[in-house]
Structure 1
Amino acid sequence: MTEKISIKITKPNEEKVLSIIEELSANLYLRFGSDGKNSFTDWQYNNSHFVFVTAEIDNEIVGCGTIRPIEENTGEVKRMYSKYSGKKIGQTILIFLENHAKTIGFKKLVLETRVKNQEAIQFYQKQGYNIIPNYGKYKDRPEAVCFGKSLK
């Protein structure tokens, strides 16, 4: 029997989602020495181009992801996390974010992950993302690898 994954748009500061964000941050810190918490320092709660989602299975939050604007027609995928592997949680979140990005006017999505994070690199490539030159704060960071995908 396949478990149903539901995606909900919420806010990253809501109490019920803090545990998944903390779990993601702890996971990143253990694996890469940085928790990624600065992803929300410029979060604009009343801007519809900033979208945070959670994935739930049987009322348990099992993943999260977000998009935020970085250029007029370009959104950035951040804070992608799946609590369990092999359940298509990440894929479900990413498809939702891509579809939502189109509805709010983004023509392209970009993202960054660490070169060491081979699981993420393979995941994004399977989802149609291509390696692009490092952008923004990742430009001169050899530990970073950036991806982009045109939304059609």
Structure 2
Amino acid sequence: MSAEMNELYGRPRAAAQPDAGIDPDSVLVTIVGDEVGEPVATASLRQLGADVELKRMYVVPEARGRGLASELLAQLEARATAFGATRLVLHAGERQRAAVDFYRSRGYAPIPLLAPYRGVPESLCFARALAGR
């Protein structure tokens, strides 16, 4: 994922990501999707203040278009609800058009930038109220 984002944003291959310093203690769960024992999708949830944030959602290019992202998002939304979250928030970049379109099509709406992303160029943040809350 980092290599793909670095290419998309024209950064050096080994450039640090804005969220590279995530406190491991804030991570609530990480899900890895696999096909025939090979990891092809992943995403995590982390506690971010009063919110639960979707982090590092990624599907390898050769596995895209099979509904894995939708399945992964549904699982993570259910997990966030189980953790007591009333909404799920996320960060994406302006150049990640496919990701932005994906999240918008699933009911995620723009919100003001979350604290960790203020000052990070081309940042966008989104949120969606979780069902049953």
| 2:6 maps to 1:29 | yes
Instruction: Find the residue that maps to 2:65 and give its secondary structure.
Output: coil
Unaligned runs of 5+ in 2: none
Of 115, 121, 138, which aligns to 2:94? 115
Give distance in 1, aligned partners of 2:74 and 2:106: 9
Amino acid at match of 1:102: T
C-alpha displacement of 1:71 = 2.1
CA contact (8 A) 1:70 1:76 kept: yes
Q: Cα gap change, 1:99/1:88 in structure 2, threshold over 3 Å: closer, same or farther?
A: same
Identity fraction in percent? 27
1:70 equivalenced with 2:48 (yes/no): yes
Indicate the SS of the match to 1:50: strand
Distance 1:82 1:96 in 2: 15
Q: What letter corresponds to residue 117 of structure 1 in structure 2?
A: Q
How far apart, CA to CA, are the structure 2 residues paired with 1:53 and 1:111?
16
Contact 1:26 1:35 in 2 (8 A): no
1:35 & 1:100 partners in 2: Cα distance?
29
Whether the 8 Å CA contact 2:18–2:120 is kept in 1: the answer is: no
* C-alpha spacing 1:28/1:142, structure 2 compared with 1 (3 Å): closer
> Structure 1 residue 41 and structure 2 residue 41: aligned?
no
Q: Contact 2:18–2:117 (CA<8 Å) still a contact in 1?
A: no
- Per-residue CA deviations over 1:83-106 (Å, capped at 9, x if unaligned) read 122011111111110001111111
Question: What TM-score, normalized to structure 1?
Answer: 0.74
3-state SS in 1 of match to 2:71? helix
Gapped regions of structure 1 (runs ≥ 5): 1-23
Q: Contact between 1:112 and 1:146, CA under 8 Å: does it hold in 2? A: yes
CA-based RMSD of the aligned residues comes to 1.9
What is the Cα deviation at residue 146 of structure 1?
0.7
Q: Secondary structure at the match of 1:41?
A: coil
Q: What does residue 73 of structure 2 align with? A: 94
